[in-house]
Amino acid sequence: MQRRHPASRTGRPRSAAADTAILAATRQALVDLGWSKLTLSDVAVRAGVAKTTLYRRWAGKNELVVDAVAELFDELTLPDRGSLAADIEGVVLQFAAILARPEARSGLMAVVAEATRDEALRERIRASIVDRQKRLVIAGRTRAQERGELPPETDAERSARAVDLIFDMVAGSVVHRTLVSNQPADEEWVHGLTRVLLSGLAASAR
């Protein structure tokens, strides 16, 4: 994740257990304290490691929280529910469930906010979270094309733009609903979202 010596063969190896303990402790600290009151000293105590160990592995609070939050989104999968609409609803509901957890809510937004002034952090977020989950959109489109629900893609660039738009619309709507409007992304709401999105995409494709 942030290996400084990719091929350091000698010396005492870094404890892998410490990594997982630190990331878990970071998430728990986000729940208990929130972003602004989270201190690396506190995380170190929770994880049962020395504070200096944290600074040896991560450059600072931003990088640590990105890694801690990124793990949360790895549990997303694309269920096969038989139709494109049902598949999308399934993914969106999973996404909403993750965003309902406090460690994701405060952590994700805070890191995005910091990233506005930190190009390296932006890149880290894009690589660790955004691009990693865009796979779901691509897989969903491919499956829908196999089913005949969507026409096969002709123009690669045009297709990439569509994937980006869908991703921003889905993720953005859910995030805004849960974090800004502060209302639950429940089944009814998700159903309305997917209906508008799908009929809009179908109509717009013509």
Partner DNA sequence: GTGCTTTCGCTACGAGTCGTAGCGTAATGG
Partner DNA sequence: CCATTACGCTACGACTCGTAGCGAAAGCAC
User: By the criterion CB under 7 A, which residues form the site for DNA?
Assistant: 4-5, 8-15, 18, 39-42, 48-53, 55-57, 60-61
- Taking the CA atoms of 104, 15, 45 and 112 in sequence, report the sign of the dihedral they define: negative
Minimum CB distance to DNA, residue 15 (Å): 4
* Per CB under 8 A, 154 contacts a second copy: no
Q: Pick the closer one to a second copy by CB: 87 or 103.
A: 103
The residue with tokens 């490691």 is 49
In whole angstroms, the minimum distance from the beta carbon of 75 to a second copy comes to 19
Residue 106 CB neighbour total at 10 angstroms = 20
Applying CB under 8 A, which part among 20-28, 47-55, 146-154, 194-202 lies near a second copy? 194-202
* 141 touches a second copy (CB under 8 A): no
Q: Which of a second copy, DNA, none binds 12 (CB below 5-8 Å, type-dependent)?
A: DNA
Find all residues with CB under 8 Å of 19, minimum gap 6, and list them: 1, 57
Buried b (16+ CB within 10 A) or exposed e, 122-151: bebbeebbeeebbebbeebbeebeeeeebe
As measured in angstroms, the least distance from the Cβ of 50 to DNA is 4
Write the CB contacts of 165 (distance below 8 Å, at least 6 apart in sequence): none
Closest distance of CB 9 from a second copy, Å: 37
Question: What's at 27, amino acid-wise?
Answer: R
Contacted entry of DNA, a second copy, none for residue 48, CB cut-off 5 to 8 Å set by kind: DNA
Closer CB to DNA, 30 or 88, in the complex? 30
Report which residue type is found at 189.
W
Contact 162, 144 (CB under 8 A): no
Could you list the residues that contact a second copy (CB under 8 A)? Answer: 33-36, 61, 102, 105-110, 112-118, 122, 125-126, 130, 161, 164-165, 167-169, 171-177, 179-183, 189, 192-193, 195-204
